[in-house]
Chain A
């Protein structure tokens, strides 16, 4: 685990054609500065894992608009302001894998937890399970789903201590802990850094073992500076 001093440095190692998980649900937990740095960094041919497929003209939407995303794996791509994704999709310029949100989360969790595959009831009997292996266990129908791994994860946490233990704020936690664990190299932007020993060990939501690179980008505007 190492600290770097800029978002630019934090994303320097991301390679073309790699799979990148990007945390956040809405604005909560979105690693805005890391995504902007990835846009500037230039890696292309990316497979991106996110809950959505970009909103408006910035962040992930801009990465898509620039043609840098070959494939997106998400639960809910179509939104009122997902016009860049919509355009690329209709032009056949981006591949889409739609995954029910809980299956998406569990596939990510399974990758970090070393699970080979799992049977889930979600999606059974629907078109999103077509072609997939199914099994009836104790009278319940399940669909076989495989883990989802990534080369890199870009997430946002609230506080890191010196060894990369992380805490989150409120619903900004969302995909942060599971994406950090599911990626070969996890990069986290935090809003505060504290010394080892100054974080309550009981409050650690992501132990530092899952964290490779941390960049501290304080944000004056975020509420709850006291929490």
Chain B
């Protein structure tokens, strides 16, 4: 257990979306197989170092997904899970939907990065439904993505538009997955979730003690494990596969 006062404040300002995406990208190990969720997590791909050989999975049935395709490069048979036209990379493979989700559910992907409405301190994720009365339920691959990869990272703003923290003791929104999130990247801090405790790895534009006053979660200082403490060396560690 480490004190909150040991959490480094690594930026004077809160991170914008691009800086969050860059930070996530820097933490993805070389050689990893990764699924980036639709929306904000997709930005992470812009900051992946091509030298690190990270392979992107898109759940409609492709490994080795390249960047978005434009103009004459658009092929209607080549789209990602967000139905955006994309390009191949050398080494691309295609497979049917059941294989694609088996690959995910079977724990073969190293990291999945998702957006969230709420994350609870025990790792519960809510990102598919606000539970609003009369809303038409639509889940897509969210529940499969949440629990499938070896590690599930969330990228989100720490607070909703009305200022309410989205990192909570227990989710009020309908759950997507139980205890599945291991790390949360926000504009104000990076949190690591372990054994029901939230460890603040680093903060941006705020001190960890102030976060502790704002958030209704059990907050502690950084996890004392090698390789997760800061971002400077994480990008060059060897992948798990």
Determine if A25 and B102 form an interchain contact, defined as CB atoms under 8 angstroms apart.
no
- A76, B82: Cα distance in complex, Å: 12
Tell me, rounded to whole Å, the shortest Cβ–Cβ distance linking B4 to chain A. 30
**Contacts of B136 on A, CB cut-off 8 Å?**
77-78, 86, 89, 96
Determine if A26 and B101 form an interchain contact, defined as CB atoms under 8 angstroms apart.
no
**Contacts of B97 on A, CB cut-off 8 Å?**
25, 101, 105, 174-175, 178
Determine if A128 and B77 form an interchain contact, defined as CB atoms under 8 angstroms apart.
no
In this assembly, does A205 line the interface, its C-beta being within 8 Å of a C-beta of chain B? yes
In this assembly, does B1 line the interface, its C-beta being within 8 Å of a C-beta of chain A? no
In this assembly, does A68 line the interface, its C-beta being within 8 Å of a C-beta of chain B? no
Determine if B104 and A102 form an interchain contact, defined as CB atoms under 8 angstroms apart.
yes
B9-17, B40-48, B137-145, B205-213: which lies at the interface: B137-145
User: Interface residues of A toward B: which range?
Assistant: 35 or more
Tell me, rounded to whole Å, the shortest Cβ–Cβ distance linking B21 to chain A. 24
Determine if A125 and B178 form an interchain contact, defined as CB atoms under 8 angstroms apart.
yes
Proximity string of chain B (57-96) to chain A, C-beta cutoff 8 Å, 1 when within and 0 when not: 0111110000000000001111110010000100000111
Proximity string of chain A (141-163) to chain B, C-beta cutoff 8 Å, 1 when within and 0 when not: 10000000000000000000000
Determine if B62 and A101 form an interchain contact, defined as CB atoms under 8 angstroms apart.
no
The 8 closest A-B pairs by CB, nearest first: A102-B101, A102-B144, A125-B178, A109-B98, A26-B83, A101-B141, A105-B97, A76-B140
A8-16, A38-46, A115-123, A193-201: which lies at the interface: A115-123
Determine if A126 and B102 form an interchain contact, defined as CB atoms under 8 angstroms apart.
no
**Contacts of A171 on B, CB cut-off 8 Å?**
58, 60-62, 77-80, 94
- A27, B59: Cα distance in complex, Å: 16
**Contacts of A170 on B, CB cut-off 8 Å?**
62, 75, 77-78, 88, 94
Determine if B105 and A26 form an interchain contact, defined as CB atoms under 8 angstroms apart.
no
In this assembly, does B177 line the interface, its C-beta being within 8 Å of a C-beta of chain A? yes
**Contacts of B141 on A, CB cut-off 8 Å?**
75, 100-102
Contact of A178 among B78, B98, B105 (CB under 8 A): B98
The number of residue pairs between A and B whose CB atoms lie closer than 8 Å in the complex comes to 145
In this assembly, does A214 line the interface, its C-beta being within 8 Å of a C-beta of chain B? no
In this assembly, does B158 line the interface, its C-beta being within 8 Å of a C-beta of chain A? no
Contact of B144 among A90, A98, A101 (CB under 8 A): A101
**Contacts of A178 on B, CB cut-off 8 Å?**
96-98
**Contacts of B239 on A, CB cut-off 8 Å?**
none
Determine if A28 and B77 form an interchain contact, defined as CB atoms under 8 angstroms apart.
yes
**Contacts of A86 on B, CB cut-off 8 Å?**
136
Residues of chain B from 155 to 170 with CB closer than 8 A to chain A in the complex: none
In this assembly, does B190 line the interface, its C-beta being within 8 Å of a C-beta of chain A? no
In this assembly, does B151 line the interface, its C-beta being within 8 Å of a C-beta of chain A? no
